[in-house]
Amino acid sequence: MKRVPLVALNPDVYRETVRRALAEDIGRGDVTTDAAINGSQQARAVLLSKASCVIAGLDIASEAFRQLDPGVVVEARRADGDRCEPATVVAEYRGRAGALLTAERTALNFLQQLSGVATLTGLFVDAIEGTSARITDTRKTTPGWRQLQKWAVQLGGGVNHRMGLYDAVLIKENHAAAAGGVGQAVAKARLQNLDKRVPIFVETENLDEVQDVLAEGPDRIMLDNMDAAAMRQAVETIRASNQTIEIEATGGYTLETVREAAETGVDLISIGALTHSAPALDMSMLFTGK
């Protein structure tokens, strides 16, 4: 099964990130490769997935090799978004042996981490299959990697929450405390956003807060750390009041608990672990000749 990203990843997003990653690793030079490999020596190498996964980051990995050897020949055997089984060859590279060796770890770091995000997302998506809920990410991302990680979430079948502080109002507990209450915080945000430049999301912790914010008409109400019974009641209350308001469940859901949340009727379930705790996938690069 292939997961197709909702938005294509522009190479301009990652070229500089790859350049910095290579510079960080190479420093004054790859002393091992420089000592052991003839500069003109050619080689062929394959990238292998060693676990079941959703692939993410093939183009980024290839960029690492291209930056050190513009003439490298890339043969993709799989595409970003593909589900792969162990021992699957996902790509083949032919080029200067030294460049392949020097870029290997940087290429794998991108591919393993992003495939880990996509794979964990896919597991959560599978866990709620058959419900109307969708899995979404958060801003709990690796600094400098946000667009890459959120793209990987899409490849795994999830959807993206706001990208940053600029594309949606999100009123949380501390905003509400500073504003004099959750309802007051939404009202103030609405006054500042009369032309509806950005959507207004608000986090609620109980049914009283849900009732408090409904009159202000936010675009999304987030149900934070509520039990399933409270969430069902909140969903019924919100739907009866305004069918257009999105409802999101938040609160540290795991693969074992996420389906119960999905079955309450919420539209979205946010999972911070997709980006802050996804394990890197087991992958390797092997030389196979010239």
As annotated, the active-site residues are: 105, 140, 172, 203, 224
Contact by Cβ (8 Å): 253, 158: no
Give the Cβ contact number of residue 12 at 10 Å: 7
SS3 call for 238: helix
Whole-angstrom distance, CA of residue 244 vs CA of residue 130: 22
Alpha-carbon distance of 155 to 168, in angstroms, equals: 23
Q: How far apart are CA 120 and CA 276, in angstroms?
A: 11
Residue 129 burial class via C-beta count within 10 angstroms: exposed 0-12, middle 13-18, buried 19 and up: exposed
12: which residues sit within 8 A by CB, 6+ positions away? none
Residue closest to 247 by CA, chosen among 213, 274, 278: 213
Can you list the pairs that 219-222 forms with residues at least 24 positions away whose Cβ atoms lie under 8 Å? 219/245, 219/246, 220/245, 220/246, 220/247, 220/248, 220/268, 221/245, 221/246, 221/247, 221/248, 222/247, 222/248, 222/249, 222/250, 222/270
Among the listed residues 31, 3, 285, the one whose alpha carbon sits nearest the alpha carbon of residue 126: 3
Instruction: In whole angstroms, give the CA distance from residue 232 to residue 265.
Output: 7
Contact by Cβ (8 Å): 205, 224: yes
| Among 284, 286, 274, residue whose Cα is nearest residue 114 | 274
Report residue 73 as tokens.
């020949």
